[in-house]
Structure 1
Amino acid sequence: MNNDKNEKPQKPENIVFDFGGVLFRWHPASFLARVWPHRAADVAQGAALATDFFQNYSGDWGAFDQGLIDAPTVTQRIADRTGWPLAEVAQVVAAVPDELQVLPDTVRLIEDFKRAGHRLFFLSNMPEPYADHLERHYPLHDWFEGGVFSGRVKVSKPDPTIFELATAQFEVPAQSCLFLDDHPANIVAARAHGWQAELFTTAAELRPRVAHLV
Protein backbone atom coordinates (compact mmCIF):
# COMPACT_ATOMS: atom_id res chain seq x y z
CA MET A 1 0.00 0.00 0.00
CA ASN A 2 1.31 3.48 -0.90
CA ASN A 3 1.69 6.02 1.85
CA ASP A 4 0.71 9.35 0.32
CA LYS A 5 2.60 11.27 2.99
CA ASN A 6 5.84 9.67 1.85
CA GLU A 7 5.31 10.27 -1.84
CA LYS A 8 7.57 12.89 -3.36
CA PRO A 9 6.07 15.58 -5.60
CA GLN A 10 6.35 14.93 -9.30
CA LYS A 11 9.50 16.44 -10.78
CA PRO A 12 8.15 19.48 -12.62
CA GLU A 13 8.47 19.52 -16.38
CA ASN A 14 6.99 22.98 -16.93
CA ILE A 15 8.30 26.17 -15.34
CA VAL A 16 5.88 29.11 -15.07
CA PHE A 17 7.32 32.57 -14.42
CA ASP A 18 5.72 35.62 -12.91
CA PHE A 19 7.02 38.86 -14.46
CA GLY A 20 7.08 41.87 -12.12
CA GLY A 21 9.72 41.31 -9.45
CA VAL A 22 10.82 38.03 -11.06
CA LEU A 23 11.82 38.56 -14.69
CA PHE A 24 11.42 42.33 -14.71
CA ARG A 25 12.41 44.88 -12.07
CA TRP A 26 9.46 45.95 -9.97
CA HIS A 27 9.94 47.49 -6.55
CA PRO A 28 7.18 50.09 -6.04
CA ALA A 29 8.77 51.78 -3.03
CA SER A 30 12.04 52.64 -4.78
CA PHE A 31 10.17 53.32 -8.04
CA LEU A 32 8.01 56.01 -6.44
CA ALA A 33 11.00 57.47 -4.61
CA ARG A 34 12.68 57.95 -7.99
CA VAL A 35 9.62 59.20 -9.88
CA TRP A 36 8.27 61.39 -7.07
CA PRO A 37 11.34 62.66 -5.17
CA HIS A 38 9.30 65.69 -4.04
CA ARG A 39 6.89 63.31 -2.25
CA ALA A 40 9.23 60.49 -1.23
CA ALA A 41 12.65 61.44 0.11
CA ASP A 42 13.61 57.79 0.59
CA VAL A 43 12.41 54.24 0.03
CA ALA A 44 10.50 54.16 3.34
CA GLN A 45 8.40 57.12 2.24
CA GLY A 46 8.07 55.51 -1.19
CA ALA A 47 6.66 52.40 0.45
CA ALA A 48 3.97 54.44 2.21
CA LEU A 49 3.04 56.11 -1.07
CA ALA A 50 2.96 52.74 -2.85
CA THR A 51 0.41 51.43 -0.35
CA ASP A 52 -1.96 54.26 -1.27
CA PHE A 53 -1.15 54.29 -4.97
CA PHE A 54 -1.33 50.55 -5.79
CA GLN A 55 -3.62 49.43 -2.93
CA ASN A 56 -1.78 46.09 -2.78
CA TYR A 57 -2.97 45.53 -6.37
CA SER A 58 -6.63 45.66 -5.41
CA GLY A 59 -9.11 48.50 -5.86
CA ASP A 60 -8.35 50.88 -8.73
CA TRP A 61 -5.04 49.28 -9.67
CA GLY A 62 -6.50 45.79 -9.37
CA ALA A 63 -9.16 46.72 -11.92
CA PHE A 64 -6.41 48.05 -14.20
CA ASP A 65 -4.45 44.80 -13.77
CA GLN A 66 -7.56 42.86 -14.78
CA GLY A 67 -8.19 44.91 -17.90
CA LEU A 68 -11.48 46.20 -16.53
CA ILE A 69 -10.45 49.87 -16.83
CA ASP A 70 -7.92 51.66 -19.03
CA ALA A 71 -4.96 53.87 -18.14
CA PRO A 72 -6.84 57.22 -18.23
CA THR A 73 -9.54 55.78 -15.98
CA VAL A 74 -7.16 54.37 -13.38
CA THR A 75 -5.28 57.68 -13.41
CA GLN A 76 -8.46 59.65 -12.76
CA ARG A 77 -9.64 57.26 -10.05
CA ILE A 78 -6.35 57.40 -8.16
CA ALA A 79 -6.29 61.19 -8.35
CA ASP A 80 -9.89 61.42 -7.14
CA ARG A 81 -9.29 58.96 -4.31
CA THR A 82 -6.02 60.41 -3.03
CA GLY A 83 -6.18 64.10 -3.91
CA TRP A 84 -2.85 63.90 -5.74
CA PRO A 85 -2.72 66.08 -8.89
CA LEU A 86 -3.91 64.26 -12.00
CA ALA A 87 -0.71 65.14 -13.90
CA GLU A 88 1.46 63.59 -11.17
CA VAL A 89 -0.56 60.37 -11.11
CA ALA A 90 -0.38 60.22 -14.91
CA GLN A 91 3.41 60.62 -14.63
CA VAL A 92 3.63 57.48 -12.49
CA VAL A 93 1.31 55.43 -14.71
CA ALA A 94 3.34 56.44 -17.78
CA ALA A 95 6.67 55.66 -16.07
CA VAL A 96 5.88 52.01 -15.27
CA PRO A 97 7.01 50.52 -18.63
CA ASP A 98 10.51 51.99 -18.28
CA GLU A 99 10.66 50.66 -14.71
CA LEU A 100 10.12 47.12 -16.01
CA GLN A 101 13.75 46.47 -16.89
CA VAL A 102 14.74 42.87 -17.48
CA LEU A 103 16.73 41.13 -14.72
CA PRO A 104 19.78 39.46 -16.34
CA ASP A 105 20.15 36.79 -13.64
CA THR A 106 16.61 35.61 -14.29
CA VAL A 107 17.26 35.51 -18.04
CA ARG A 108 20.21 33.22 -17.35
CA LEU A 109 17.94 31.03 -15.24
CA ILE A 110 15.47 30.86 -18.12
CA GLU A 111 18.24 29.82 -20.48
CA ASP A 112 19.40 27.12 -18.05
CA PHE A 113 15.89 25.74 -17.68
CA LYS A 114 15.50 25.62 -21.45
CA ARG A 115 18.83 23.84 -21.91
CA ALA A 116 17.72 21.29 -19.33
CA GLY A 117 14.70 20.49 -21.50
CA HIS A 118 11.91 22.21 -19.56
CA ARG A 119 8.95 23.90 -21.19
CA LEU A 120 8.59 27.52 -20.07
CA PHE A 121 5.44 29.63 -19.67
CA PHE A 122 4.46 32.83 -17.88
CA LEU A 123 1.56 33.98 -15.72
CA SER A 124 1.63 37.68 -14.97
CA ASN A 125 -0.66 40.28 -13.44
CA MET A 126 -0.12 42.94 -16.06
CA PRO A 127 -2.39 45.66 -17.51
CA GLU A 128 -2.78 45.43 -21.27
CA PRO A 129 -0.69 48.50 -22.22
CA TYR A 130 2.24 47.21 -20.20
CA ALA A 131 1.87 43.71 -21.64
CA ASP A 132 1.97 45.26 -25.12
CA HIS A 133 5.14 47.15 -24.18
CA LEU A 134 6.90 44.00 -22.94
CA GLU A 135 5.99 42.09 -26.10
CA ARG A 136 7.37 44.89 -28.26
CA HIS A 137 10.66 45.27 -26.40
CA TYR A 138 11.61 41.78 -25.20
CA PRO A 139 11.85 38.36 -26.89
CA LEU A 140 9.02 36.78 -24.90
CA HIS A 141 8.27 34.34 -27.72
CA ASP A 142 11.86 33.11 -27.61
CA TRP A 143 11.85 32.64 -23.86
CA PHE A 144 8.36 31.15 -23.45
CA GLU A 145 6.04 28.82 -25.33
CA GLY A 146 3.09 30.86 -24.16
CA GLY A 147 1.64 32.75 -21.26
CA VAL A 148 -1.26 34.56 -19.65
CA PHE A 149 -1.51 38.27 -18.92
CA SER A 150 -4.24 39.18 -16.42
CA GLY A 151 -5.26 42.25 -18.41
CA ARG A 152 -6.19 40.08 -21.38
CA VAL A 153 -8.20 37.43 -19.52
CA LYS A 154 -9.94 39.88 -17.13
CA VAL A 155 -8.91 38.08 -13.96
CA SER A 156 -5.77 38.26 -11.85
CA LYS A 157 -3.79 36.28 -9.30
CA PRO A 158 -4.51 35.02 -6.71
CA ASP A 159 -8.01 34.28 -8.05
CA PRO A 160 -8.16 30.50 -8.67
CA THR A 161 -9.77 31.13 -12.06
CA ILE A 162 -6.55 32.44 -13.59
CA PHE A 163 -4.68 29.28 -12.61
CA GLU A 164 -7.43 27.19 -14.20
CA LEU A 165 -7.22 29.29 -17.37
CA ALA A 166 -3.44 29.01 -17.48
CA THR A 167 -3.41 25.23 -16.99
CA ALA A 168 -5.98 24.82 -19.75
CA GLN A 169 -4.14 27.16 -22.12
CA PHE A 170 -0.77 25.51 -21.50
CA GLU A 171 -2.38 22.05 -21.98
CA VAL A 172 -0.28 20.52 -19.20
CA PRO A 173 -1.20 18.74 -15.94
CA ALA A 174 -1.29 21.10 -12.96
CA GLN A 175 1.08 18.92 -10.93
CA SER A 176 3.71 19.16 -13.69
CA CYS A 177 4.07 22.93 -13.21
CA LEU A 178 6.53 24.80 -11.01
CA PHE A 179 5.46 28.40 -10.47
CA LEU A 180 7.93 31.17 -9.56
CA ASP A 181 6.33 34.28 -8.03
CA ASP A 182 7.34 36.96 -5.54
CA HIS A 183 4.00 37.25 -3.69
CA PRO A 184 3.17 34.69 -0.98
CA ALA A 185 -0.58 34.85 -1.69
CA ASN A 186 0.06 33.77 -5.28
CA ILE A 187 2.23 30.88 -4.12
CA VAL A 188 -0.58 29.68 -1.83
CA ALA A 189 -3.12 29.98 -4.66
CA ALA A 190 -0.90 28.08 -7.10
CA ARG A 191 -0.39 25.23 -4.66
CA ALA A 192 -4.12 25.08 -3.97
CA HIS A 193 -4.60 24.55 -7.71
CA GLY A 194 -2.15 21.64 -7.68
CA TRP A 195 0.90 23.45 -8.97
CA GLN A 196 4.25 23.27 -7.29
CA ALA A 197 5.50 26.74 -6.38
CA GLU A 198 8.55 28.55 -5.04
CA LEU A 199 8.58 32.05 -3.57
CA PHE A 200 11.01 34.18 -5.59
CA THR A 201 13.24 36.84 -4.09
CA THR A 202 16.25 36.78 -6.43
CA ALA A 203 17.51 34.34 -9.04
CA ALA A 204 20.66 33.78 -6.98
CA GLU A 205 18.63 32.87 -3.89
CA LEU A 206 16.37 30.56 -5.89
CA ARG A 207 19.11 28.62 -7.68
CA PRO A 208 20.00 26.24 -4.83
CA ARG A 209 16.32 25.31 -4.49
CA VAL A 210 15.98 24.42 -8.18
CA ALA A 211 19.50 23.01 -8.72
CA HIS A 212 18.03 19.55 -9.33
CA LEU A 213 16.15 20.96 -12.33
CA VAL A 214 19.01 22.69 -14.15
Structure 2
Amino acid sequence: MKPKAVVFDIGNVLIEWQPERFYDAEIGEERRRAMFSAVDLHGMNDAVDRGGHFTDTIYATADANPDWRAEIRLWHDRWIELASPVIEHSVRLMKALQARGVPVFSLTNFGIQSYDLAAGYYPFLREFDRDFISGHMGVIKPDPAIFERLEADSGLAASELIFTDDRADNIAAAHLRGWKTHHFTSPQGWADRLVAEGLLDATEAR
Protein backbone atom coordinates (compact mmCIF):
# COMPACT_ATOMS: atom_id res chain seq x y z
CA MET A 1 0.00 0.00 0.00
CA LYS A 2 1.32 3.42 -0.96
CA PRO A 3 1.90 5.61 2.12
CA LYS A 4 -0.59 8.43 2.66
CA ALA A 5 1.90 10.73 4.42
CA VAL A 6 5.67 11.08 4.65
CA VAL A 7 7.31 11.87 8.00
CA PHE A 8 10.70 13.57 8.15
CA ASP A 9 13.09 13.81 11.03
CA ILE A 10 15.02 17.10 10.82
CA GLY A 11 18.47 16.74 12.38
CA ASN A 12 20.85 15.01 9.93
CA VAL A 13 17.97 14.54 7.48
CA LEU A 14 17.07 18.11 6.49
CA ILE A 15 19.71 20.02 8.47
CA GLU A 16 23.08 18.68 9.55
CA TRP A 17 23.40 18.37 13.32
CA GLN A 18 27.02 17.76 14.34
CA PRO A 19 27.87 19.49 17.67
CA GLU A 20 31.13 17.57 17.96
CA ARG A 21 32.26 18.91 14.58
CA PHE A 22 31.52 22.48 15.68
CA TYR A 23 33.48 22.10 18.92
CA ASP A 24 36.39 20.37 17.21
CA ALA A 25 36.73 23.47 15.03
CA GLU A 26 36.38 25.85 17.98
CA ILE A 27 38.43 24.26 20.76
CA GLY A 28 40.17 21.28 19.18
CA GLU A 29 39.27 17.61 19.29
CA GLU A 30 41.20 16.84 22.48
CA ARG A 31 39.47 19.54 24.54
CA ARG A 32 36.13 18.68 22.98
CA ARG A 33 36.50 15.05 24.01
CA ALA A 34 37.38 16.12 27.54
CA MET A 35 34.37 18.42 27.76
CA PHE A 36 31.90 15.89 26.39
CA SER A 37 33.29 13.32 28.84
CA ALA A 38 32.93 15.70 31.80
CA VAL A 39 29.51 17.16 30.93
CA ASP A 40 26.44 15.36 29.57
CA LEU A 41 25.80 17.85 26.80
CA HIS A 42 23.53 15.55 24.84
CA GLY A 43 21.50 15.00 28.00
CA MET A 44 21.28 18.78 28.36
CA ASN A 45 20.01 18.97 24.80
CA ASP A 46 17.46 16.22 25.48
CA ALA A 47 16.10 18.34 28.34
CA VAL A 48 15.59 21.22 25.88
CA ASP A 49 13.96 18.84 23.41
CA ARG A 50 11.51 17.72 26.13
CA GLY A 51 10.37 21.31 26.55
CA GLY A 52 12.97 22.85 28.85
CA HIS A 53 13.66 26.51 28.16
CA PHE A 54 16.50 26.80 25.65
CA THR A 55 18.43 29.62 27.35
CA ASP A 56 17.73 28.64 30.95
CA THR A 57 18.66 24.99 30.48
CA ILE A 58 21.96 25.62 28.71
CA TYR A 59 23.05 28.52 30.87
CA ALA A 60 22.25 26.57 34.04
CA THR A 61 24.40 23.70 32.79
CA ALA A 62 27.19 26.16 32.00
CA ASP A 63 27.00 27.72 35.46
CA ALA A 64 27.07 24.26 37.06
CA ASN A 65 30.30 23.45 35.18
CA PRO A 66 32.50 26.54 35.58
CA ASP A 67 35.55 24.89 34.01
CA TRP A 68 33.58 24.69 30.76
CA ARG A 69 31.21 27.61 31.23
CA ALA A 70 32.21 29.64 28.17
CA GLU A 71 32.32 26.59 25.91
CA ILE A 72 28.92 25.28 27.01
CA ARG A 73 27.34 28.68 26.40
CA LEU A 74 28.38 28.39 22.76
CA TRP A 75 25.76 25.62 22.45
CA HIS A 76 23.22 28.40 22.92
CA ASP A 77 24.95 31.53 21.66
CA ARG A 78 26.12 30.03 18.37
CA TRP A 79 23.53 27.31 18.13
CA ILE A 80 22.67 27.89 14.49
CA GLU A 81 26.28 27.00 13.63
CA LEU A 82 25.75 23.62 15.30
CA ALA A 83 22.58 23.10 13.26
CA SER A 84 23.94 23.66 9.78
CA PRO A 85 24.16 23.44 6.84
CA VAL A 86 20.89 22.55 5.15
CA ILE A 87 20.79 19.23 3.29
CA GLU A 88 19.44 20.74 0.08
CA HIS A 89 18.52 17.50 -1.69
CA SER A 90 16.30 16.49 1.23
CA VAL A 91 14.53 19.84 1.15
CA ARG A 92 13.89 19.37 -2.58
CA LEU A 93 12.37 15.96 -1.84
CA MET A 94 10.07 17.50 0.77
CA LYS A 95 8.88 20.13 -1.69
CA ALA A 96 8.50 17.61 -4.52
CA LEU A 97 6.25 15.45 -2.35
CA GLN A 98 4.08 18.43 -1.46
CA ALA A 99 3.89 19.47 -5.11
CA ARG A 100 2.44 16.00 -5.74
CA GLY A 101 -0.13 16.56 -3.00
CA VAL A 102 1.52 14.14 -0.57
CA PRO A 103 1.25 15.40 3.03
CA VAL A 104 4.64 15.86 4.70
CA PHE A 105 4.97 15.90 8.48
CA SER A 106 7.92 16.66 10.74
CA LEU A 107 8.64 14.41 13.71
CA THR A 108 11.61 15.89 15.47
CA ASN A 109 13.42 16.10 18.77
CA PHE A 110 13.67 19.88 18.94
CA GLY A 111 13.20 22.51 21.63
CA ILE A 112 10.49 25.14 21.55
CA GLN A 113 12.72 28.22 21.40
CA SER A 114 15.47 26.54 19.38
CA TYR A 115 12.94 25.49 16.73
CA ASP A 116 11.71 29.05 16.43
CA LEU A 117 15.31 30.20 16.07
CA ALA A 118 16.02 27.61 13.38
CA ALA A 119 12.86 28.49 11.46
CA GLY A 120 14.08 32.07 11.21
CA TYR A 121 17.10 30.80 9.29
CA TYR A 122 15.43 27.91 7.47
CA PRO A 123 11.95 28.99 6.26
CA PHE A 124 11.06 25.48 5.02
CA LEU A 125 10.64 24.49 8.68
CA ARG A 126 7.34 26.42 8.60
CA GLU A 127 6.15 24.59 5.49
CA PHE A 128 5.30 21.12 6.81
CA ASP A 129 1.68 20.06 6.53
CA ARG A 130 1.81 19.04 10.18
CA ASP A 131 4.48 19.71 12.82
CA PHE A 132 5.24 17.21 15.56
CA ILE A 133 7.92 18.91 17.67
CA SER A 134 9.02 17.16 20.84
CA GLY A 135 9.41 20.35 22.88
CA HIS A 136 5.71 21.11 22.44
CA MET A 137 4.75 17.47 22.97
CA GLY A 138 6.82 16.92 26.13
CA VAL A 139 8.20 13.61 24.89
CA ILE A 140 11.15 12.69 22.68
CA LYS A 141 11.95 9.89 20.26
CA PRO A 142 12.32 6.97 20.59
CA ASP A 143 9.58 6.90 23.27
CA PRO A 144 6.68 5.01 21.67
CA ALA A 145 4.28 7.67 22.96
CA ILE A 146 5.51 10.23 20.43
CA PHE A 147 4.71 7.92 17.51
CA GLU A 148 1.31 7.10 18.99
CA ARG A 149 0.55 10.82 19.33
CA LEU A 150 1.32 11.45 15.68
CA GLU A 151 -1.01 8.65 14.62
CA ALA A 152 -3.81 9.92 16.84
CA ASP A 153 -3.43 13.57 15.89
CA SER A 154 -3.09 12.92 12.15
CA GLY A 155 -5.85 10.32 12.02
CA LEU A 156 -3.58 8.01 10.02
CA ALA A 157 -2.81 4.38 10.79
CA ALA A 158 0.75 3.22 11.30
CA SER A 159 0.67 1.34 8.01
CA GLU A 160 -0.21 4.57 6.15
CA LEU A 161 2.98 6.37 7.22
CA ILE A 162 6.56 6.26 5.99
CA PHE A 163 9.25 7.78 8.23
CA THR A 164 12.90 8.61 7.76
CA ASP A 165 15.38 9.29 10.57
CA ASP A 166 19.14 9.07 10.88
CA ARG A 167 19.03 7.26 14.24
CA ALA A 168 18.53 3.52 14.26
CA ASP A 169 16.78 3.54 17.65
CA ASN A 170 14.11 5.94 16.35
CA ILE A 171 13.63 3.86 13.23
CA ALA A 172 13.30 0.70 15.32
CA ALA A 173 10.65 2.29 17.54
CA ALA A 174 8.58 3.39 14.54
CA HIS A 175 8.97 -0.03 12.90
CA LEU A 176 7.64 -1.72 16.02
CA ARG A 177 4.45 0.34 15.68
CA GLY A 178 4.03 -0.85 12.10
CA TRP A 179 5.27 2.24 10.29
CA LYS A 180 7.17 1.94 7.04
CA THR A 181 10.66 3.21 7.78
CA HIS A 182 13.86 4.29 6.06
CA HIS A 183 17.13 4.66 7.95
CA PHE A 184 18.53 7.88 6.51
CA THR A 185 22.21 7.75 5.56
CA SER A 186 22.10 9.96 2.46
CA PRO A 187 19.51 12.01 0.60
CA GLN A 188 20.01 9.88 -2.50
CA GLY A 189 19.09 6.73 -0.61
CA TRP A 190 15.93 8.43 0.66
CA ALA A 191 15.14 9.67 -2.85
CA ASP A 192 15.45 6.14 -4.19
CA ARG A 193 13.11 4.84 -1.48
CA LEU A 194 10.47 7.46 -2.27
CA VAL A 195 10.61 6.44 -5.93
CA ALA A 196 10.33 2.77 -4.97
CA GLU A 197 7.24 3.57 -2.89
CA GLY A 198 5.61 5.26 -5.88
CA LEU A 199 5.56 8.66 -4.20
CA LEU A 200 7.92 10.41 -6.66
CA ASP A 201 9.34 9.65 -10.07
CA ALA A 202 13.07 9.70 -10.77
CA THR A 203 13.01 13.22 -12.21
CA GLU A 204 11.15 14.63 -9.21
CA ALA A 205 13.55 12.88 -6.82
CA ARG A 206 16.71 14.44 -8.24
Q: Secondary structure at the match of 2:10?
A: coil
Is residue 8 of structure 2 the alignment partner of residue 17 of structure 1? yes
Q: Where in structure 1 are there 5+ consecutive unaligned residues?
A: 1-9
- Counterparts of residues 34-53 of structure 1 (less than 5 Å): 34=25, 36-37=26-27, 39-40=28-29, 50=36
Question: Which residue in the other structure is 1:118 paired with?
Answer: 102
Distance 1:97 1:62 in 2: 17
Q: Give the one of 5, 20, 38 matched to 1:29.
A: 20
- Against the structure 1 CA distance between its residues 205 and 80, is the aligned structure 2 distance closer, same or farther, given a 3 Å change threshold? same
Q: How far does residue 181 in structure 1 lie from its aligned partner after superposition?
A: 0.4
Q: How far does residue 139 in structure 1 lie from its aligned partner after superposition?
A: 3.2
- Against the structure 1 CA distance between its residues 52 and 188, is the aligned structure 2 distance closer, same or farther, given a 3 Å change threshold? farther
Is residue 131 of structure 2 the alignment partner of residue 140 of structure 1? no
Q: Secondary structure at the match of 1:139?
A: helix
Aligned residue pairs: how many? 196
Segment of structure 1 superposing worse, 71-80 or 176-185: 71-80
- Counterparts of residues 19-168 of structure 1 (less than 5 Å): 19-34=10-25, 36-37=26-27, 39-40=28-29, 50=36, 57=42, 59-77=43-61, 80=64, 84-100=67-83, 101-137=85-121, 138-142=123-127, 144-168=128-152
Q: How far does residue 200 in structure 1 lie from its aligned partner after superposition?
A: 0.6
- Against the structure 1 CA distance between its residues 141 and 188, is the aligned structure 2 distance closer, same or farther, given a 3 Å change threshold? same
Q: How far does residue 132 in structure 1 lie from its aligned partner after superposition?
A: 0.9
Give yes or no for contact 2:58–2:72 (8 Å, CA) kept in 1.
no
Segment of structure 1 superposing worse, 94-103 or 106-115: 94-103
The runs of 4+ residues in structure 1 deviating greater than 6 Å are none
Q: Spell out, residue by residue over 1:62-91, the C-alpha distance to the aligned partner (whole angstroms, 9 max, x if none).
A: 21210135422333225535x533222111
- Against the structure 1 CA distance between its residues 84 and 199, is the aligned structure 2 distance closer, same or farther, given a 3 Å change threshold? farther
- Against the structure 1 CA distance between its residues 51 and 167, is the aligned structure 2 distance closer, same or farther, given a 3 Å change threshold? farther
TM-score under structure 2 length normalisation: 0.83
RMSD: 2.4
Identity of matched residues, %: 28
Question: Which residue in the other structure is 1:3 paired with?
Answer: none
Question: Which residue in the other structure is 1:204 paired with?
Answer: 188
Q: How far does residue 146 in structure 1 lie from its aligned partner after superposition?
A: 1.1
Give yes or no for contact 2:75–2:82 (8 Å, CA) kept in 1.
no
- Against the structure 1 CA distance between its residues 194 and 47, is the aligned structure 2 distance closer, same or farther, given a 3 Å change threshold? farther
Distance 2:38 2:182 in 1: 28
- Against the structure 1 CA distance between its residues 156 and 52, is the aligned structure 2 distance closer, same or farther, given a 3 Å change threshold? farther
Distance 1:171 1:51 in 2: 43
TM-score under structure 1 length normalisation: 0.80
